[in-house]
Amino acid sequence: QSLLGRIDTLDGQLNSFITVTAESALAAADAADRARARGDVGPLSGLPLALKDIFCTRDVKTSCGSKMLDNFVSPYDATVVEKLKAAGTVSLGKTNMDEFAMGSSNENSFYGPVKNPWDLSAVPGGSSGGSAAAVAAGLVPAALGTDTGGSIRQPAAFCGITGLKPTYGRVSRYGIVAYASSLDQAGPMARSAEDCALLLSAIAGHDLRDSTSVARGVPDYQSELGTSLSGLKIGLPKEYFGEGLDPAVDIAVREAVKVYESLGASVREVSLPHTHHAIPAYYVIAPAEASSNLSRYDGVRFGHRCATPADLIDLYERSRAEGFGEEVKRRIMIGTHTLSEGFFDAYYKKAQQVRRLIRQDFLDVFEDVDVLMGPASPTPAFDLGAKKDPVSMYLQDIYTIAINLAGIPGISVPVGFSTSRPTEGRPIGLQILGPHFAEPQLLNVAHQFQ
């Protein structure tokens, strides 16, 4: 009730929720109380949280930030939603996001932009901007996001919270509206690594309904928290500290690395030589997969349908023209082009080959170091409306998208604030990366930042 009150008072300004489910939340809270009275309590019983509006929820609208799905109510729950319900959590609602998770600022939402709680003139990051802002503003203690190219880590960094993108395949994608299926992963966003660990333990695991989920036991992600970092080998990729990095971010990240040295870790410079190919490769592969995934929105089975179609083609064309926003249309056109006959080898196939090299960079470097550290984003949160052309927005993703191309896990941890104008007082995130399935170690390292 107290959090619903906070949402009521504050979210008119922040716009972090698309749907608030007050009634069902109070009922779920009552059920959790009754279960507790019976002695039936788990670590997440009664925990209030929020879900990015990309997770299918039975009986509650799942818009994916779009006009296309503004009228869509899923007949089933996503696997992670099912798991969180079974763990006794209480969902307060669905959070705002860039349309179909395409964006880095939450300005592409059909429901309007989200404001950064630290500075209302700044963006919260994207695409999980609503989840990040809701946690940062204390509207919920934790939320779920998804990350295809940085959408958990970058908004976490911009809003001063902790966000983890798990290893590809660690968390089921069943019931999550697909953006780029070979890159999408769901993960926790919360105030601390410990809270992220709790949530990850609840949502991770194999799922027969997602053929890309990995059949591998789920560790207790809290059990390694606090393990000594003495002897930890940290690599700083030199490509992550180059041109375009805001000095305020550079300073905060290097100071954070010193904290780990004081805890007994050793630091060395390493190289990920194919880093500069990550943005071009991602912006071929992600739109290609998106154009294919979004072909299902045809105005026939579900989603927006235009009024009085003349015939089937008119129905398809007008439903899609009206239902999709500008950025989504741009990606559909790019993806359709790069997958078309005559261009496939030059773009899509080439991008997949580059992806392999990027992945190999990480595998090679993890032969020598345990974790990598660097910035989550080249700048602190920028002003709403500041990035008008799409390419300047895509460049925001420079430090996050290679991680999805490689399938490895990454966590963003708040390590300070910008001390210089015009971003003074806005949070800065340290990104920590590890090999596939190194989530226990990443969470432990993140946990010990102080």
Active site residues: 52, 127, 151
By beta-carbon proximity to ligand GLN, the closer residue of 179 and 221 is: 179
Measured CA to CA, the distance from residue 119 to residue 320 in angstroms comes to 35
Measured CA to CA, the distance from residue 276 to residue 266 in angstroms comes to 26
Measured CA to CA, the distance from residue 5 to residue 16 in angstroms comes to 14
Q: At its nearest, how many Å lie between ligand GLN and the CB of residue 413? A: 18
DSSP symbol at 325: -
Grouping H, G, I as helix, E, B as strand and the rest as coil, residue 450 is coil
Question: 54 near 64, Cβ under 8 Å?
Answer: yes
Contacts (CB under 6 A) with ligand GLN, residues 96-115: 101-104
Report the b/e string of 228-264 with b at 16+ CB within 10 A: ebeebebbbbebbbeeebbebbbebbeebbeebeeee
By beta-carbon proximity to ligand GLN, the closer residue of 28 and 405 is: 405
By beta-carbon proximity to ligand GLN, the closer residue of 97 and 265 is: 97
By beta-carbon proximity to ligand GLN, the closer residue of 55 and 260 is: 55
Contacts (CB under 6 A) with ligand GLN, residues 127-146: 127
Using CB under 6 A, which of 150, 163, 335, 434 touches ligand GLN? 150
Contacts (CB under 6 A) with ligand GLN, residues 165-204: 179
Contacts (CB under 6 A) with ligand GLN, residues 376-435: 397
- One character per residue 57-96, x = contact with ligand GLN (rule: CB under 6 A): ----------------------------------------
For 173-217, give the secondary structure using H, E and C.
CCCECCCCCCCCEEEEEECCHHHHHHHHHHHECCCCCCCCCCCCC
Using CB under 6 A, which of 11, 82, 147, 207 touches ligand GLN? 147
Using CB under 6 A, which of 79, 151, 185, 377 touches ligand GLN? 151
By beta-carbon proximity to ligand GLN, the closer residue of 103 and 237 is: 103
Number of residues interacting with ligand GLN: please give it, by CB under 6 A: 13
Q: At its nearest, how many Å lie between ligand GLN and the CB of residue 154? A: 7
Measured CA to CA, the distance from residue 431 to residue 272 in angstroms comes to 15
Using CB under 6 A, which of 95, 116, 148, 293 touches ligand GLN? 148
Contacts (CB under 6 A) with ligand GLN, residues 229-288: 286
Measured CA to CA, the distance from residue 165 to residue 176 in angstroms comes to 15
Nearest to 129 by CA among 391, 433, 419, 384: 384
Q: How many CB atoms lie within 10 A of CB 194?
A: 17
By beta-carbon proximity to ligand GLN, the closer residue of 234 and 334 is: 334
Q: At its nearest, how many Å lie between ligand GLN and the CB of residue 360? A: 22
- Applying CB under 6 A, which residues contact ligand GLN? 101-104, 127, 147-151, 179, 286, 397
